[in-house]
Structure 1
């Protein structure tokens, strides 16, 4: 899959890109109210108003949007004549922007048809500007929507949704509180390590994953502890982008398959769900991915080159556990009010995410999934 997006990155990268809109008759900017209040975003909106013939704004994209949210946005818009969609925000905003770029196009399928698997033939021009460093949505062909009726999420996937322009501006991530920087950073880590170890991994996705992991290992905790460090923030945006690019060429697997039900039914933020699952899932796949775990371990700033590959693979899993703890993210489902009585639903729902389960590098069945979930409850709840 070719990623042909033009990348613009660096501090104040938003300041002088209005020329990219000068030939557009009508642009649609998609964001949420919190992001729209950031001074740099307000300044960009004014620049866009001066550059495009007309600028419409949708600023009510919710976290974890459903197909109903997208249908509501569409119903509120006259999409005739929109020839560019700009998304500024976290993964939810960018996913909705990608869908709208398709739905505003000529001969666009209906949203229900996209959900049923029909592939879009085209889209209008698009620009994606992430304000969190985790989802990598700006580099993936995926748009994830919650399906409340089924208490899960689905992915609409097409390379057509990859944008024309990606802007990585670290000052836009400064408004993230520490817990958001932590959870979105772990989401990026999951993308990178899962794609690196997936059954569909290949030299292209491996290259993206290794570059992204190196940046993330050296920058995540600095970005959380020193939120004004623009260098670390930019490195995290790049780590997130490389994670998305790895997804575009390979795919995630066990962590994401098992986190989908946690988001779909219990509305646990995606990065938090991934943080809870990271260590037990990686402990499960480790025996089938020793060499790759060892290569990833070697990228750690404090890696010990004298260790054997086997020991490095164990040390990487230990690092993941310690990292989640240092970032003060939840490590059990009990902390989030979910009891072990929910296990049957969780197991069935995770196994139903077949698109990701087929990427797991080790055979995985219902008992394996149950045991991983079971590790997320205190011993007193084990049956």
Structure 2
């Protein structure tokens, strides 16, 4: 088999890396810069910090901060139309996954005369004329290093992913200091999202020896840093660790893909507007209880990465240890355990199963053949919770 491996042209990591943004803008020869972020970061002054950093360059700037919550295709279209009219040649995305997804998709779509075939997924975006720099302020989505961007389809009440190599930015600048002010709930949800990327990419059908290196390192760092980052947000060492988790797992996701956990999470976001990280965290143990049966060797590896024990002599016990860890994680991070806790009615489960079963891009990358009926069974388990199974 032939495997490609892609990353941003520049990957810069380190405490204080934010200060190098101006130099990166200069190197890209930008004439007009758009800053894409969200209302929350604008309110706390992060967007202004970017403006202030650019000011000495005498490069005009505009801001787009209409993002609140997880973005929709309608919002993406508005961002493209707005920034295209501004004739910006560099888009800087700063924020969580929502802002970064909007920024990189907007950069890729600016200049396209007809957006419809790209937004529907009928056509892949093959080229980009607007430069792009991404700076994450959360540790989770890894959007700064991936070729995916996720948006809500308001008409169909689903979430869909756009995928294109041109979504990789010209520069990804990861400064863990930008994540220190991230609230504990967001830190927990986004952190487990990164863990989901790591473990799903590790068992993915498209995984390679190289992607597994990134997945493995991300899992090892996750287990030793997530609790500190969530419960002591000013712990910079834990923040650095989780920033590595997010980016390493993001690189693995970009090149190996993810699978069933994400597929089953999409209806929770699209229909019920549950945060992506919370959806993944809640569903992960119930999904792995089923799909983990087909990847015993990988479960032995994962148990070792998470310091759960050596199961080489009893490999069939590894899956239970990993699933137990996932359930305990929800307790430790104060995240919900069941769909019922999210006010999702049991009568909605068949509809969700029907939606998830259509996400073949992710399900086909999972080493277990899930059909609609099996997916419904997983949702039913997640509705009842562990005690109800």
1:313 to partner: Cα distance = 2.7
Q: Give the conservation status (yes or no) of the 8 Å contact 1:129–1:166.
A: yes
| 1:39-54 paired onto structure 2 within 5 Å | 39=45, 41-51=47-57, 53-54=59-60
Does residue 119 (structure 1) correspond to residue 124 (structure 2)? The answer is: yes
**Residue 16 (structure 2) aligns with:** 12
Partner Cα separation in structure 1 for residue 183 and residue 8 of structure 2: 32
1:52 to partner: Cα distance = 5.3
Q: Name whichever of 116-125 and 23-32 sits farther off.
A: 116-125
| 1:5-154 paired onto structure 2 within 5 Å | 5-22=9-26, 23-39=29-45, 41-51=47-57, 53-79=59-85, 81-105=87-111, 108=112, 110-116=114-120, 117-123=122-128, 124-154=130-160
**Residue 383 (structure 2) aligns with:** 377
Gaps of 5+ in 2: none
| Match among 319, 323, 329 for residue 329 of structure 2 | 323
Q: Give the conservation status (yes or no) of the 8 Å contact 2:80–2:110.
A: no
| Match among 164, 167, 170 for residue 164 of structure 1 | 170
Partner Cα separation in structure 2 for residue 340 and residue 29 of structure 1: 42
Partner Cα separation in structure 1 for residue 376 and residue 172 of structure 2: 39
**Residue 188 (structure 1) aligns with:** 194
1:39 to partner: Cα distance = 4.7
Q: Name whichever of 201-210 and 279-288 sits farther off.
A: 201-210
| Match among 156, 180, 184 for residue 174 of structure 1 | 180
How many residues are aligned here? 379
Secondary structure in structure 2 of the residue aligned to 1:31: strand
Does residue 2 (structure 1) correspond to residue 28 (structure 2)? The answer is: no
Secondary structure in structure 1 of the residue aligned to 2:198: helix
Q: What are the Cα deviations for residues 183-207 of structure 1, in whole angstroms up to 9, with x where unaligned?
A: 1111111111111111222112211
**Residue 298 (structure 2) aligns with:** 292
Partner Cα separation in structure 2 for residue 28 and residue 44 of structure 1: 10
CA-based RMSD: 1.9
Partner Cα separation in structure 2 for residue 302 and residue 39 of structure 1: 42
**Residue 248 (structure 1) aligns with:** 254
1:120 to partner: Cα distance = 2.2
Q: What are the Cα deviations for residues 143-182 of structure 1, in whole angstroms up to 9, with x where unaligned?
A: 1111011111111111011011111111211222111111
Q: Give the conservation status (yes or no) of the 8 Å contact 1:19–1:51.
A: no
Does residue 367 (structure 1) correspond to residue 360 (structure 2)? The answer is: no
1:114 to partner: Cα distance = 0.8
Q: Give the conservation status (yes or no) of the 8 Å contact 2:97–2:142.
A: yes
Q: What are the Cα deviations for residues 6-33 of structure 1, in whole angstroms up to 9, with x where unaligned?
A: 1222222112331222221001110012
TM-score, normalised relative to structure 2: 0.92
1:214 to partner: Cα distance = 1.1
**Residue 313 (structure 1) aligns with:** 319
Q: Name whichever of 354-363 and 110-119 sits farther off.
A: 110-119
Q: 1:194 to 1:179 in 2, by over 3 A?
A: same
Secondary structure in structure 2 of the residue aligned to 1:166: strand
Q: 1:4 to 1:72 in 2, by over 3 A?
A: closer
Q: What are the Cα deviations for residues 267-291 of structure 1, in whole angstroms up to 9, with x where unaligned?
A: 0111111111010001111111111
Secondary structure in structure 1 of the residue aligned to 2:68: coil
Q: What are the Cα deviations for residues 339-374 of structure 1, in whole angstroms up to 9, with x where unaligned?
A: 111121011001011111111111212221111000
Partner Cα separation in structure 2 for residue 57 and residue 47 of structure 1: 14
Partner Cα separation in structure 1 for residue 97 and residue 114 of structure 2: 22
Q: Give the conservation status (yes or no) of the 8 Å contact 2:278–2:335.
A: yes
Secondary structure in structure 2 of the residue aligned to 1:150: coil
